[in-house]
Amino acid sequence: MIEQPIEDPELLEKLKDISADGMDLFLTRSGAHRIVALHATNLVNQMAANHRVHGEDAERLAIGYILVLLAASTIKNPERVLLISDVAPHGLVTEATGTGHVRGYLKQSDEDPGTIAVLRYSESQDLLHHGRIETVSEDLVDNLTAYYNRSEQLETHLSAGVFLDEERRIVGAGGMLVQSLPGIGEDRNAFPISRAIPDGAEIAEMFAHGGTAGEIVRTRFPDVAPRLVATRPAEFSCHCSKKRFARFLSALPAGEQEDILENGPFPLRTTCHNCNSTYRYERWELLELFTEPG
């Protein structure tokens, strides 16, 4: 991935004053509920710089990044989860790993199947799970919450949001997942998670003012004595590279390779959808690539 610089000096100064991105994972005292709090202000700003998005597009993609990271908090480290929202004209595809790396992009579509899908893959790319439901609203948070409660039948509450300053910069971003765990005999009514979980805007504002994930959880859920069981990083990261795209080009049929060498354009540019990194290949590079022994 080619990381683009964040060029707004005032934004950079504000980012210096907040806590580091990351996820804190908690269990309640009885072990009946999982609570995950995510801080993602720095990574969504890096995402916006790379994808060159701002305004509503940046906010929409930021929410997708936050939600897929929260979904990935429930998987094992070598696995990855994809969140695909197909609602025209503002669909998106986001992906996160169990190690806290996230990437993804907005997609424009004239079709409107009105669905949200969650796919989980192993490290070896085997599809472990695929669930899809019809969307219940235009709000991605509502749709993913409905997915968990319908498709996976786990009582789940989600929140995700961004906080904007007076210049509409994203100076706070984060979210929370609270999920009931099966097989625990605690009286569920004793823990009103739907009322205790802050909304996304409130969480984001807390982070914008220097709050941490642990502080937010312990403040909002004191009666269930949340116990920290794990921490994970949260980082905008993509494993694309010029060498990786070169492998794709070298696998093209001979006729397509000949057409590229004859007609160009040069330099040939390939762009990664997930991080918007662009890699350039001069004709001499492609000639060497296409004539290398297989």
Instruction: Read off the pLDDT of residues 30-66 as tens digits, 9 standing for 90 and up.
Output: 888 899 999 999 999 999 999 999 999 999 999 999 9
With a cut of 70, say whether residue 192 has pLDDT above it.
no
User: Across all residues in the chain, what is the average pLDDT?
Assistant: 91
pLDDT over 70 percentage in the chain: 93
Q: What does the pLDDT average to over 175-201?
A: 74
Query: Each residue of 147-156: pLDDT tens digit?
Result: 998 887 888 9
The pLDDT assigned to 42 comes to 98
Compute the distance between CA of residue 234 and CA of residue 41 in angstroms, rounded to an integer.
10
Compute the distance between CA of residue 210 and CA of residue 198 in angstroms, rounded to an integer.
17
Would you tell me how many other CB atoms lie within 10 Å of the CB of residue 223? 12
Distances (CA, A) of 145 to 98, 142, 236: 20, 5, 23
Query: Each residue of 196-230: pLDDT tens digit?
Result: 789 999 999 999 999 999 999 988 888 888 999 99
The pLDDT assigned to 272 comes to 97
With a cut of 60, say whether residue 134 has pLDDT above it.
yes
Task: Kindly list the structural domains of the chain, giving each domain's residue range(s) and its CATH number in brackets, ordered by start.
Answer: 9-236 (3.55.30.10), 242-291 (3.90.1280.10)
Query: Angle 41-51/55-72 helices, nearest 10 degrees?
Result: 130
Query: What pairing do the DSSP bridges indicate for beta strands 170-180 and 156-164?
Result: antiparallel
Residue 85 near residue 64, CB atoms below 8 Å: yes
With a cut of 80, say whether residue 188 has pLDDT above it.
no
Residue 100 near residue 23, CB atoms below 8 Å: yes
With a cut of 70, say whether residue 191 has pLDDT above it.
no
DSSP H helical ranges for the chain:
9-16, 41-51, 55-72, 140-150, 193-196, 200-208, 213-220, 242-250, 254-263, 283-291
Helix (H) or strand (E) holding 35: strand 33-39
> Tokens in use for 31?
């072990």
Beta bridge partners of 163: 172
The pLDDT assigned to 78 comes to 86
The pLDDT assigned to 104 comes to 98
Beta bridge partners of 170: 164
pTM of the model: 0.93
Would you tell me how many other CB atoms lie within 10 Å of the CB of residue 162? 27
Compute the distance between CA of residue 53 and CA of residue 20 in angstroms, rounded to an integer.
22
Q: Is 250 exposed, middle or buried (0-12, 13-18, 19+ CB in 10 A)?
A: middle
- Looking at residue 243, its amino acid is K
Beta bridge partners of 118: 83, 131
Query: Each residue of 240-270: pLDDT tens digit?
Result: 999 999 999 999 999 999 999 999 999 999 9
Which DSSP string do the residues of 51-82 spell out, in sequence order?
HT--HHHHHHHHHHHHHHHHHHTTS-TT-EEE
Which residue carries 């989600």 as its tokens?
A: 158
Beta bridge partners of 102: 96, 236
